[in-house]
Each structure stands twice: as C-alpha cells, then as structure tokens.
Amino acid sequence: MRHTLPLAPQFYVTAPQPCPYLDGRMERKLFTALQGENAEKLNDSLSQQGFRRSQNVLYRPSCADCSACLSARIDVSLFEPTKSQRRTAKRNTDLKRRATSPWATEDQYALFRDYLDSRHADGGMADMDVFEFAAMVEETPIRSRVIEYTAADGGDLIGVSLTDVLSDGLSMVYSFYTPDAPRRSLGTYMILDHIEIARDAGLPYVYLGYWVPGSQKMGYKSKFSGLEVYLGGCWQKMSDPDNFHPDTHPLSTDPIAEQVANISLPDTRPTHKP
C-alpha cells in the first residue's frame, strides 16, 4: 500500500508543560510537520505568521490563557546600532566567520555543552546528548546553514548559529557561544553580524525567535532598533518594550480551531506550462 502526505498541513497541539520563560505559567504549542517537496514554501509562509522551526516541525505558542510570547524580527532597513552595539561590533572585529552546510561536529557539541552548563543548566535542552544535538543541526528539509565564529589568533570555535535562509530573511534558529568571554557580548554580536549578512544578501529581515516581556532571558532582543513583533495577526513595530505586558487572561488566546482557520497556507498546486 502506498502512503502519501496529506494535501494540506495538519495542525496539532502539545500537552501543557511548565513555561521556560515565566514562572508559574504553563506552555502549549500549536505545531505542524515540515516535510515534502513544498517544505520551503510552508516554512517561508508560516515564519511570516509567527511560527518557528525545530528540526522537521514548525510551531507557535498557543497557551490557554497567556499570550506573552511574541515572535520578533528586525527590519534591516530600519536598524541603527546603539553606541553599546557599535562597541560590541568593534570588540569582535578579530573574529572570523565561516558558513557551512548543516553538519554537526565534535567541536560544536563541546561548545554547546559549555554554553548550556553555564547559561541553561536547568533548561529543557540540558540533557541533550551528541546524537540529539546532531539531529537538531542536521535534520532540516530546507535551506539551512551553520555559521561558525572563530578567534583569529588561535582558531578556537567560540560561537555558532544554526540559521535558516528564508525568502525574506535569515532566521536564527539556535545560537550558542563560549561563556568564557563575557566582554565580547557574543549573543549580541552574532545578531549584529546576521544583520550585515542579510543586508549584503538583500534580505529585509532577521528573525530572532520569541521575545517575552517580563523574561530576563529574552530582554536583549528589545534593545535592537527596527524590531517588529507579530501581534494580532500582523507584524507591528515595537516602539516601546514597556508597552507590552506578560499579563494573563482567560481570553488571551483564540480557540485552536479559530487559530488554524486564520493561518494562510502557500499555494502548492503544480504549475502547468502551456
């Protein structure tokens, strides 16, 4: 018997689990599989609607009574670095950037472990072994790159970003870096460098994942000018981060059926030439 993929993506909801960003809250995600010959079209379309990729899955927060998590992206044309960001860029001019195909290495995993043990020892990825790490990097049905940053003096790997190339920008899927060089502000620097990569490639946006008001882990994202958040079904310029609140309300989130009905899907019909 031949099995075929469904003509339209099927959406599902995860079981509630503790929120990794805000204490005392429960997290739930709406997700769909990313597969088949139209994977890139689907990824492009849903990324523009606040979804994120994790391996072969696209997901978006759909918490029952909280809507604090907001997908964030930088409009490259509107970005102007602050004095602090210019200093960060200057401190890292000695770094070398190398973009490769999505292939995991032992050096990457060693750096990943150092980063988790220092920054996120109690997080959901803390127990990830080398095989799970390899899957995170390599299991991608779309155009992805691993961007490595090495020190020019010794060539040591000090930063890595798993980055997707979308039709309208770069999506920083996951980044990690050495915890032993805090003065470099490597997390900020890698975003600054991705803005330059996008500008050079003529891509208008850099997607940063989710920004969560009230979460110290996510506070750095709001410091970038040109930032937009996906709210109320559209992208909105963030004028003042203090205008967003992580308040809960039983009507914060639309019913799942309504959410799915409002998702725009790409046209995947084959094009017939006359």
- Dihedrals phi, psi of 60, to nearest 5 degrees: -145, 140
Supply the pLDDT for residue 1. Answer: 43
Given a cut of 80, is residue 6 above it in pLDDT? no
* Distance separating alpha carbons of residues 31 and 59, to the nearest angstrom: 4
**What pTM, to 2 d.p., does this model score?**
0.91
Q: Does pLDDT of 143 surpass 50?
A: yes
DSSP code string of 48-99:
TTT-EEETTEEEEE--SSB---EEEEEEGGG----HHHHHHHHHTTTEEEEE
Closest CA to 187 of 134, 151, 149: 149
Mean pLDDT of 210-231: 89
More confident residue, 195 or 222: 195
- Would you say residue 252 has pLDDT above 80? no
Q: What is the pLDDT of residue 197?
A: 98
Q: Which helix (H) or strand (E) holds 30?
A: strand 29-33
- pLDDT tens digits, one per residue of 126-135: 678 999 999 9
Count of helices and strands (H, E) across the chain: 6, 14
Q: What is the mean pLDDT of residues 33-37?
A: 91
DSSP alpha helix (H) spans, the chain: 39-47, 83-91, 106-119, 130-138, 186-201, 256-261
Is the model's pLDDT at 117 over the cut of 80? yes
Query: 146 has which bridge partners?
Result: 100, 162
Q: What is the pLDDT of residue 270?
A: 57
| Lowest-pLDDT choice from 144-153, 208-217, 243-252 | 243-252
Percent of the chain with pLDDT over 90: 65
Find the mean pLDDT for residues 144-156: 91
Total length of the chain? 274
Rounded to a whole number of angstroms, the CA Rg of the chain reads 19
**Angle of CA points 176, 206, 59, to nearest 5°:** 75
- Which one is predicted more confidently, 256 or 224? 224
Q: In this structure, what DSSP letter does residue 111 have? A: H
Instruction: Spell out the residues 6+ positions from residue 257 whose beta carbon is closer than 8 angstroms to its own.
Output: none
Beta bridge partners of 246: none
Q: State the average pLDDT over residues 221-240.
A: 91
- Say if residue 273's pLDDT is above 80: no
Range scoring the smallest mean pLDDT among 166-180, 196-210, 239-253: 239-253
Distance CA 125, CA 171 (A): 20
User: Per-residue pLDDT averaged across 16-40, rounded?
Assistant: 91
Find the distance separating the first CA and the last CA of the chain, reported in whole Å.
34
pLDDT at position 128: 86
| The three-state (H, E, C) secondary structure of 214-252, written as one string | CCHHHHHHHHCCCEEEEECCEEEECCCHHHCCCCECCCC
Q: Please check whether residue 32 is in contact with residue 12, taking contact to mean a CB–CB distance below 8 angstroms.
A: yes
